[in-house]
Amino acid sequence: MSRNAESTAFRSALEVVRGVEPRVADAIAAELADQRESLKLIASENYASPATLLAMGNWFSDKYAEGTVGRRFYAGCQNVDTVEALAAEHARELFGASHAYVQPHSGIDANLVAFWAILADRVESPALRKAQARQVNDLTEADWFALRRELGNQRMLGMSLDAGGHLTHGFRPNISGKMFDQRSYGTDPATGLIDYDRVAEAAREFKPLILVAGYSAYPRKVNFRIMREIADSVGATFMVDMAHFAGLVAGKVFTGDFDPVPHAHIVTTTTHKSLRGPRGGMVLCGPELADQVDRGCPMVLGGPLPHVMAAKAVALAEARRPDFADYAQRIVDNAQALADGLLRRGATLVTGGTDNHLVLIDVSGYGLTGRQAEQALLDSGIVTNRNSVPQDPNGAWYTSGIRIGTPALTTRGLGAAEMDATAELIHTVLNQTTPGTGPDGAPSKAKYVLDPAVAESVGKQAADLLTPFPLYP
């Protein structure tokens, strides 16, 4: 599609929306303006292509399609079958998986599908068998009691939150923490790296049903071959959540021991982030879990979103093109250039650098909390998010870290020189920001002081840096 055609399509769509609710059209336009002018460094965000975005705004949104390809509970799903089959085909070919399930609406949904598939495969429970067979209404109170007891006794071992893990890997605020008895493995206090011997020791002691690998804020590769050996040694199912780095797997930047698909029993992912698709989820697995995974709807998912599956098919087709591999490599090159620029300016980075798409800055060296740093950077046109660091003294709300990532800026075309300039802007803001005080005069973990002239200057430099790299021309 030509750029003129793309512009015409989006302008026309906005005018149609404006005719019904102009405030929504204004908010959409304002969001595009904000994204055009800001350095987007949130590691979990990206820019989907116009083709992917347009694929979501169509008549598939009006169709119910519970079930799977060829086995729907609604009539008239032949076109949904086409796009779902295409998305699954692209996913299998892209990742070298034998089975792909593209219905999950999000990463947590993909993880829930995986958890229930593993439980159904591993736990001998008549109640669970009934539920998986779509006989939920036939469950007696005794069945439900047995089901709750059995599921509550199952164990999960995953990466701790402060080491870079994710809420959906068994932590109490999330449903996974209510389903499983969970224990965490951390990282070496001296290096911030995974200590595989300690993971093996924890697995031998805890004997989990599921060993989970994957992360949202760990800036290094994971050796999935070793993790699978650990899982096998205790009879655990090995699950990998590759939501953050799926694009690096798709682009063949992570191969061999660092590609989870050949080593894991089951792999989950989002389809946005580094994969650069629509917001959604996906599950990859072998034939032994395929039947259970395909029961995700209606077991834990609502009706599939056919318009989003259509967008997934488009994005996965884009990821199979040769230029995507180049893009994936540039993500890592840019992250390393950004890390190097920060280190040269005196910043402290968790693990001392990065192997992937993200960098984790310990902002305590600037005398700040993550919340103060996040807001000061936002004032200056740099969009990041606060994040815990290992053994974080400020907890998960205020934090001591800032997580930054390069997928979005790499999509816009920025390279090593721009990453160094970005490092300078980040350092300038953090170096010029000081902690504020509360109403009682006591030090605050949230309030901060930054000269508005500094924020304005950095914001202008950020916008100038982006000028040669227009977003959606």
Catalytic residue among 66, 89, 181, 424: 66
- Confirm whether 273 is a catalytic residue: yes
Length of the chain: 473
| Contact predicate 422/39, CB 8 Å | yes
Catalytic residue among 121, 143, 241, 392: 241
Catalytic residue among 273, 330, 371, 386: 273
Catalytic residue among 63, 64, 196, 257: 64
Q: Facing residues of 84 across strands?
A: none
Tokens of 372: 């103060």
Distance CA 43, CA 39 (A): 12
Catalytic residue among 52, 168, 268, 270: 270
Distance CA 197, CA 199 (A): 5
The C-alpha angle with vertex 293 and arms to 291 and 294, in degrees rounded to 5, equals: 65
Distance CA 319, CA 45 (A): 16
Q: How far is CA 83 from CA 68, 138, 305, 317, 460, in A?
A: 12, 34, 11, 12, 43
Instruction: Kindly report the number of other CB atoms within 10 A of residue 24's CB atom.
Output: 12
- Confirm whether 270 is a catalytic residue: yes
Q: How far is CA 286 from CA 38, 101, 103, 133, 390, in A?
A: 42, 11, 17, 20, 34
Distance CA 330, CA 274 (A): 11
- Confirm whether 447 is a catalytic residue: no
| Contact predicate 102/88, CB 8 Å | yes
For the chain, the farthest-separated pair of C-alpha atoms sits apart, in whole angstroms, at 67
Q: Show Cβ contacts of residue 220 under 8 Å, excluding neighbours closer than 6 positions.
A: 193, 194, 351, 354, 355, 356
Catalytic residue among 92, 122, 155, 279: 279
Distance CA 68, CA 100 (A): 12
Q: 74-93 burial, b for 16+ CB within 10 Å, e for fewer?
A: eeebeebbebbbbbbebbee
- Confirm whether 279 is a catalytic residue: yes
Enzyme catalytic residues: 64, 66, 241, 270, 273, 279
